[in-house]
Amino acid sequence: DIQLTQSPSFLSASVGDRVTITCRASQGISSYLAWYQQKPGKAPKLLIYAASTLQSGVPSRFSGSGSGTEFTLTISSLQPEDFATYYCQQLNSYPVTFGPGTKVDIK
């Protein structure tokens, strides 16, 4: 099974900050990676798919990059509504796996 790790697991930041979250896969997954945002009590929301493609309706301050085993999610200027937990997901092969999550909190 392909394992995903995320760093950091917790991030404290201020509105306007540039934030970068890293996701690493235990083996190469090409660009079969997605990023989701989840707020408390809500379903996850797709942000990025195919490692770097922005889902329709998602603000352009979100971007994704990477391929193979290392990927990043960047929020160029953190907004109040961006405080949430972020998960990466690999879709290269079954079983599908999620990273453990990165919680972005207000400094």
Partner 1 sequence: EVQLLESGGGLVQPGGSLRLSCAASGFTFSSYGIGWVRQAPGKGLEWVSTVSGSGGSTYYADSVKGRFTISRDNSKNTVYLQMNSLRAEDTAVYYCAKKARAAGNFDSWGQGTLVTVSS
Give the residue, chosen from 21, 82, 87, 104, that forms a contact with partner 1 under the rule CB under 8 A: 87
* Cα dihedral 56/65/105/76 (nearest 10): -80
**Total residues found in the chain within this entry:** 107
Beta strands (DSSP E) in 14-80 are 19-25, 33-38, 45-49, 53-54, 62-67, 70-75
57 binds partner 1 (CB under 8 A): no
For the chain, the first-to-last Cα distance in angstroms comes to: 36
Give the residue, chosen from 43, 58, 77, 81, that forms a contact with partner 1 under the rule CB under 8 A: 43
Candidate ranges 13-21, 42-50, 60-68, 75-83; the one touching partner 1 (CB under 8 A): 42-50
86 binds partner 1 (CB under 8 A): no
* SS3 label, residue 29: coil
Give the residue, chosen from 8, 50, 77, 79, that forms a contact with partner 1 under the rule CB under 8 A: 50
98 binds partner 1 (CB under 8 A): yes
Q: What are phi and psi of 39, to 5 degrees?
A: -105, 155
Minimum Å gap between C-beta 81 and partner 1 is: 18
Residues forming contacts to partner 1 in the complex (CB under 8 A) are: 1, 32, 34, 36, 38, 43-46, 49-50, 53, 55, 87, 89, 91, 94-101
